[in-house]
């Protein structure tokens, strides 16, 4: 790669490993190849660790495990296996950053957070250098599966939001497998974007559920995506790209020059294939170099 063509930086990205020791699934005519996940994840992480230009981190967009009806002990073993694969394959050379997904919470939130090194709030930001910032959101915080105690601020707000936004043709995202961000997290996001604007930084958002209309199917969006998209993200000149998982088919939308991309799930990569990407960030564009079933894209920023 010639010097003038080198990216400012690069990072790896994987969506929905979603491991479980289960027979293959069949959802909407697509296969979920649960038992192939460990091998595919090892291969993906090994390729990302060896990638050139070197990746500065690997981002997993949520649902590291699926959950298993065999019980909590089995869920915990499956989680430990997949978490160990990240440790072994990245070897401390490349940090892994994790997004909380709805299936992740088949493991207690406090266990998930501690094992994966996620900050206690489960939303956080990191400088990427070169005038860029990564902001990670928790779209499970306001949900029926949040793992927060009944009576907690998060639980009360989820119940209030559900009551005022019943499932309907206008709100098809209000299913139990989706969730949203609380008022407190929304205020924090505003402050992060304001800080980025003041520092002349551009921002990449990562969340499990998609936040931009058309970036995923309407049934797989975050509960309060409209508020997040319109009132916060599109209102900030710093925001450039939102990455999500959850909708295993993937998707992409561009709204007012800002991009909303959902990565295809590793869980559903066909036999003999894989699903991950390297994002190369240039001054004027982001190149998503997809591997296997992840779509490659060139996004002007």
In a domain, 105, yes or no: yes
Strand 132-136, strand 124-129: pairing: antiparallel
Q: Residue 144: which CATH number?
A: 3.60.21.10
- Which residues form the domain of 123? 8-300
| 3 inside domain | no
Structure tokens at 169: 């043709």
Residue 1 lies in a domain: no
pLDDT at 62: 98
Q: Residue 5: what pLDDT? A: 84
Number of domains in the chain: 1
Query: Is residue 188 domain-resident?
Result: yes
Peptide bond into 50 cis (omega under 30): no
| Three-state secondary structure call for residue 83 | helix
Residue 2 maps to a domain: no
Instruction: Give pLDDT tens digits along the chain (301 positions).
Output: 444 489 999 999 999 999 999 999 999 999 999 999 999 999 999 999 999 999 999 999 999 999 999 999 999 999 999 999 999 999 888 999 999 999 999 999 999 999 999 999 999 999 999 999 999 999 999 999 999 999 999 999 999 999 999 999 999 999 999 999 999 999 999 999 999 999 999 999 999 999 999 999 999 999 999 999 998 999 999 999 999 999 999 999 999 999 999 999 999 999 999 999 999 999 999 999 999 999 999 999 9
Q: Please report the sign of the dihedral spanned by the C-alpha atoms of residue 51, residue 46, residue 216, residue 271.
A: positive
Q: Is residue 293 part of a domain?
A: yes
* Cα gap 231→144, rounded to integer Å: 24
Q: Which two tokens stand for residue 37?
A: 């996940």
Q: Is residue 51, in this structure, part of any structural domain at all?
A: yes
Which of 22, 91, 51, 27 lies closest to 265, judged by CA? 27
Predicted structure pTM score: 0.97
According to DSSP, residue 119 is labeled: -
């Amino acid at each position: 790669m010639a010097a003038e063509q080198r990216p400012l930086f690069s990072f790896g990205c994987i969506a929905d490993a979603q491991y479980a020791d289960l027979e293959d699934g069949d959802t909407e005519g697509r296969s979920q190849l649960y038992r192939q996940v460990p091998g595919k994840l090892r291969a993906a992480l090994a390729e990302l660790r060896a990638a050139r230009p070197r990746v500065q981190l690997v981002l997993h967009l949520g649902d590291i495990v699926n959950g298993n009806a065999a019980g909590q002990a089995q869920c915990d073993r499956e989680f430990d296996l997949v978490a160990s694969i990240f440790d072994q394959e990245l070897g401390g050379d490349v940090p892994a950053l994790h997004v909380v997904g709805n299936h992740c919470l088949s493991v207690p939130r406090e266990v998930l957070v501690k094992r994966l090194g996620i900050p206690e709030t489960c939303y956080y930001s990191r400088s990427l250098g070169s005038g860029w910032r990564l902001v990670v959101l928790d779209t499970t915080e306001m949900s029926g599966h949040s793992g927060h105690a009944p009576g907690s601020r998060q639980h009360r707000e989820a119940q209030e939001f559900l009551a005022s936004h019943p499932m309907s043709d206008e709100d098809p995202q209000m299913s139990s497998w989706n969730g949203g961000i609380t008022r407190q997290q929304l205020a924090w996001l505003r402050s992060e974007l304001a800080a980025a604007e003041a520092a002349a930084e551009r921002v990449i958002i990562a969340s499990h559920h998609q936040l931009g209309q058309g970036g995923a199917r309407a049934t797989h969006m975050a509960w309060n995506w409209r508020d997040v998209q319109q009132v916060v993200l599109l209102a900030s000149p710093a925001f450039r790209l939102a990455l999500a998982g959850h909708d295993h088919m993937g998707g992409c939308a561009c709204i007012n020059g800002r991009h909303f991309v959902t990565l295809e799930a590793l869980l559903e990569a066909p036999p003999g294939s894989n699903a991950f990407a390297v994002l190369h960030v240039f001054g004027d564009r982001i190149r998503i170099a997809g591997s296997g079933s992840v779509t490659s894209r060139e996004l002007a920023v």
